[in-house]
Structure formats: structure tokens, C-alpha cells
Amino acid sequence: MDKAGKRVKPRSKPGDYKLLKELGSGNFGSVHLAQRISDGRESNTLVIKHTQPRHSNGVKALINEDRQEAILLMRKELPTFCFALGTSQVLANGNTWYHCGTHDSAFGIHSLTHAHSTGYEVSPAGDIVHSMGFDGESYRAFRLKSLYGGVEYMPVDGTTSLPIPDAWAV
């Protein structure tokens, strides 16, 4: 849909993009966030892909629209199943934030009687370095640098952008 609410034709169809690494088994969930890399040719797309019925996978892929190629950068099986709500976000330190807005932590399936929200910070190596959660549902949860204007945040390692694979270097 465009901004006026009119249906538009998709720019690509299944099979148009070459996957340079397989994304793994399971059913596709949905894209929770797409971030364009500053040179305007590649886009970094983050998705949470649901593997029914037990766990969700946090998947980070780099998509080159000009070459119609997708490279899997990281895939992490999260210790929960994200039923419907969630967020994915690349953090300034290069880690990825995956938020599961509603799940039943005891059984790995959605339950109307017990809802729990959990967020995971995952390193580029696929390690969970931080997690937090609370009882209740949340639609989206983004990580912010600061709630206060003028307060600057800089990651410890000084990283401010994602690396582009050598194969795509100009």
C-alpha cells in the first residue's frame, strides 16, 4: 500500500533474490524493522522468523537490492516463541535487539491466561548478552540512546555502523 492507501505491485516476486546462505527451517514470521545503510544501495533487514511451535529465530540479513542478493549475517534461536508482537533493531554497538511482545514462557505457546514480554540483546556472534522481561504484553519495545536531550551515548568499542561484506565493496 502506498501513503494514499492504494494497493501497489510488489517490486519483486518469490525467487527474484538469490540467498547466499539459507535462513534455516520453519515458517516465515514477519519483518519487524528495515534499516537502510547510508550509501543507499544496500539495506539491512531484520526479521524474526517463527519456527512453529516452540521457538522464534532472530535473523539478521543484509539485502543488496541492485544485485538481488541476500546474505545471512546472524541467526539465533531465541529461548521463547514470539506469538505475534515484537521488534528487531540494530544497536549502536553492533548487537541486535529482539523483543518478543507476547508469549507464554512456561509452554512456549501463546496463552490468553499468562502473557509475558521479553527482550534479548544478541551479539554478532549469536550470544545473548542481556535479557529483560515483565509479565504482560507489549506491542513494540525499542532501545533508545537516552530519554534526555543532550545526553550522548557512545558504545565502548566506538562502533557506529554495520560492516558491509567485502564481496560488495566498490
Known binding residue 49? Answer is yes
Q: pTM score, two decimals?
A: 0.59
Summary count for the chain: helices (H), strands (E):
0, 9
Domain range holding 25?
18-159
Q: Could you tell me the CA-to-CA distances from 32 to 6, 7, 44, 90 in Å, in that order?
A: 22, 21, 12, 11
Q: Does a structural domain hold residue 100?
A: yes
- pLDDT of amino acid 105: 47
**Model pLDDT, residue 50:** 47
**Dist CA 121 CA 70 (whole Å):** 23
Q: Please tell me the predicted confidence (pLDDT) of residue 45.
A: 58
AA identity, residue 60: K
Domain count, the chain: 1
Does residue 39 form part of some domain? yes
Residue 143 lies in a domain: yes
8 occurs within a structural domain: no
36 in any annotated domain: yes
Is 135 domain-assigned?
Answer: yes
Domain membership of residue 7 (yes or no) is no
Q: pLDDT value at position 141?
A: 67
Between CA 92 and CA 145 the distance in angstroms is 9
> Measuring CA to CA, how many Å separate 58 from each of 11, 31, 51, 55?
25, 11, 10, 10
Question: Is residue 43 a part of any domain in this protein?
Answer: yes
